[in-house]
Amino acid sequence: MGTNGTSEHITLLGEVSIGARGVSYWNRSTRLAPVHLYAATLGGAAAVQVATFAALGYRINAPVGVLIGLAALAYLCERQSVRVTSHTQMSVSVLPILFAAVLYGPLAGMTVGAAALLADFRRPFLRWWVWTCQRTLAAGLAGVAAQLVSHGESAFGRTFAAVAAASAIEAFVDGSLMCATAIVRRNNLAETVRSMSRLQLGAVPLYTPVIAVLVFSYHHLSPWTIALFFAPAFAAQQLFRLYQEQRDLTETVVAANTRLEQASLSFATALVATLDARDQYTAGHSAAVAIYSRDIAQRMALSEDEQRLAHLCGLVHDIGKVGLPAGLLEKGGALSLDERRQMELHPPIGERILSKVDDYAEIARVVRHHHERVDGMGYPDGLAADQIPLLSRIIAVADAYNAMTSDRPYRDAMPSRVARLRLAQAVESQFDTSVVAAFEAILAAATEEYRLANGEAFRFEGQAPPVGRQPSVVALAAV
């Protein structure tokens, strides 16, 4: 399978250029003069090339049936071009073109190349004309190179050298004309060169031996051996097309999932904002717990999906507080025993709220159990050790640490070192040892700003940061 030089021009000469101007250069009447001049120059060069080859004695010696078959095959291959990147496409049309050029001379190669481009005969016709001229010029010079190297000999070594020369010349001429087109159209020349080089360097070594074997077999075995090569190549291109369609579908699904995740995060942010209307402490606390939980999950080598889930659960872990009696959250002093019991109802309230949201069942379960203790003395269900979801155990540590290092109406914030000592003292009773160890490793390497959840890094903004960042190095967005 080779690069399709013409298809590579689709972005260069099509409706949207590499320069992202958005409107086709071809359709701008006020700027057509340079392109018209370039197209006329290419057409003149192609005409001169044909006349020169005829004067030098080159003829189309291919049987009419074979030439028509190669032209039809090149046309079909061009119709089945497969997009590789946003800027380039591939097809196997270069195989019949080079086959004709090597076996029957430059005029045969030009004929097959021009026939292939009939697949793109549509408006704007100036674009098709430029593509056709470029293709025929490259095919003609490739045929000359093959004839000069082979000298009519049919040994495989000579055949391979002829095909290699033809492939190299075709790639070079086609690439050079692509660059010239980019210059005329004022496109990004560097981007053009990069796109062309990647395809040519990967494709030429691949299809050169295939064409060499094809030409040699055609000479020494039977003309019908052509089917042994082009049929599988055509089938391979169809398989690649199916792969590309599947990949495009996958990318569409991934994009849709990303939008759903963002919508889910926006919904969670709205819930926290609702709670923040009652308790100004909650939003900043929820943002900090979300970041700490995500970073602990990362430190514990959980998957990126689990890291994102930890972040989202941390953000909404206190949402059940919106269902508490009026005045309880707003109370300035320490809570009474009865008030504390009422406060302990917020995890199951949060679960009930979240369980009514599509795809929030796992989040609801994590929120319900974020106040459980590993010794079974927590609430609301008295779960112990591994009965408690891992993300709930992670949030419990992040929640407790941020609460200790934050100012409350009834007490001042603890220094980070004191809060970390309290966490260490509570392992295997209140907290999971592995979670505390992971968090301590994070805090030991972090900045003091991170340890105290201060600064721009923890500002409640409602946008999720990417997973995988190091908290001691970069500032982390809050949500």
Best mean pLDDT range from 1-15, 78-92, 406-420, 426-440:
426-440
Helix (H) or strand (E) holding 366: helix 361-368
* Residue 467 forms part of a structural domain: no
Helix (H) or strand (E) holding 90: strand 89-91
User: Which residue range forms the structural domain that includes residue 190?
Assistant: 2-221
Query: b/e for 179-206, b at 16 or more Cβ within 10 A?
Result: ebbbebbebbeeebeebbeebbeebbee
* Residue 88 forms part of a structural domain: yes
Q: Which has the higher per-residue pLDDT, 299 or 280?
A: 299
* Residue 226 forms part of a structural domain: no
Say if residue 127 is in the same domain as residue 272. no
Rounded to the nearest 5 percent, the helix, strand and coil shares of the chain are: 70, 0, 30
Query: DSSP code of 303?
Result: -
State the pairing for strand pair 82-83/2-3.
unpaired
Best mean pLDDT range from 7-21, 69-83, 93-107:
93-107
Domain termination site, one of 193, 221, 249: 221
Say if residue 205 is in the same domain as residue 270. no
Q: Is the pLDDT of residue 360 over 60?
A: yes
Domain termination site, one of 190, 221, 252: 221
Q: What is the CA radius of gyration of the chain?
A: 34
Instruction: Please state the length of the chain.
Output: 479
Say if residue 274 is in the same domain as residue 171. no
Say if residue 189 is in the same domain as residue 274. no
**Hey, how many other C-beta atoms are within 10 angstroms of the C-beta on 418?**
12
Rounded-to-integer distance, Cα 58 and Cα 469, Å: 65
Task: Output the CA angle 182-188-191, nearest 5 degrees.
Answer: 100
Give Cα separations from 97 to 4, 112, 126, 141, 154 (angstroms).
Answer: 11, 6, 22, 12, 19
Say if residue 158 is in the same domain as residue 270. no
The CATH number covering residue 145 comes to: 1.10.1760.20
Say if residue 144 is in the same domain as residue 276. no
% of the chain at pLDDT higher than 90: 27
* Residue 330 forms part of a structural domain: no
Residue type, position 467, single letter: V
Name beta bridge partners: 83: 89
Say if residue 50 is in the same domain as residue 103. yes
Rounded-to-integer distance, Cα 148 and Cα 163, Å: 11
* Residue 306 forms part of a structural domain: yes
Say if residue 184 is in the same domain as residue 302. no
For 11, counting Cβ atoms within 10 Å of its Cβ (0-12 exposed, 13-18 middle, 19+ buried), the class is buried
Interacting residues of 260 by C-beta distance below 8 A, sequence separation 6+: none
- Helices 94-104, 226-276: axis angle to 10 degrees equals 150
Q: What would the pLDDT profile of 362-412 be if each residue is shown by its tens digit?
A: 999 999 999 999 999 999 999 999 999 999 999 999 999 998 998 776 678
Q: Is the pLDDT of residue 161 over 70?
A: yes
What's the confidence (pLDDT) of residue 211? 81
What's the confidence (pLDDT) of residue 444? 93
% of the chain at pLDDT higher than 70: 70
* Residue 400 forms part of a structural domain: yes
Q: Which has the higher per-residue pLDDT, 335 or 257?
A: 335
What's the confidence (pLDDT) of residue 262? 60
Mean pLDDT along residues 169-195: 80
What's the confidence (pLDDT) of residue 410? 65
What's the confidence (pLDDT) of residue 388? 96
Say if residue 290 is in the same domain as residue 417. yes
The CATH number covering residue 361 comes to: 1.10.3210.10
Mean confidence (pLDDT) of the chain:
77
Rounded-to-integer distance, Cα 84 and Cα 160, Å: 28
Q: Is the pLDDT of residue 15 over 50?
A: no
Domain count, the chain: 2
Say if residue 196 is in the same domain as residue 284. no
Interacting residues of 452 by C-beta distance below 8 A, sequence separation 6+: 405, 413, 416
pLDDT band at 107 (very low <50, low <70, confident <90, very high): very high
Q: Is the pLDDT of residue 160 over 50?
A: yes
Rounded-to-integer distance, Cα 37 and Cα 47, Å: 15
Q: What would the pLDDT profile of 29-61 be if each residue is shown by its tens digit?
A: 444 577 888 888 989 999 999 999 989 888 888
DSSP, residue by residue, 398-434: HHHHHHHTS-BTTBPPPPHHHHHHHHHHTBTTTB-HH
Domain termination site, one of 221, 253, 288: 221
Q: Give the CA-trace dihedral at 291, 292, 293, 295, to 10 degrees.
A: 80
Interacting residues of 158 by C-beta distance below 8 A, sequence separation 6+: 149, 150, 151
* Residue 454 forms part of a structural domain: yes
* Residue 128 forms part of a structural domain: yes
pLDDT band at 464 (very low <50, low <70, confident <90, very high): very low
Task: Output the CA angle 89-92-98, nearest 5 degrees.
Answer: 120
pLDDT band at 271 (very low <50, low <70, confident <90, very high): low
Rounded-to-integer distance, Cα 279 and Cα 408, Å: 12
Specify whether the CB–CB gap between 58 and 107 falls below 8 A: yes
Say if residue 167 is in the same domain as residue 270. no
Say if residue 200 is in the same domain as residue 307. no
Mean pLDDT along residues 334-348: 86
pLDDT band at 64 (very low <50, low <70, confident <90, very high): confident
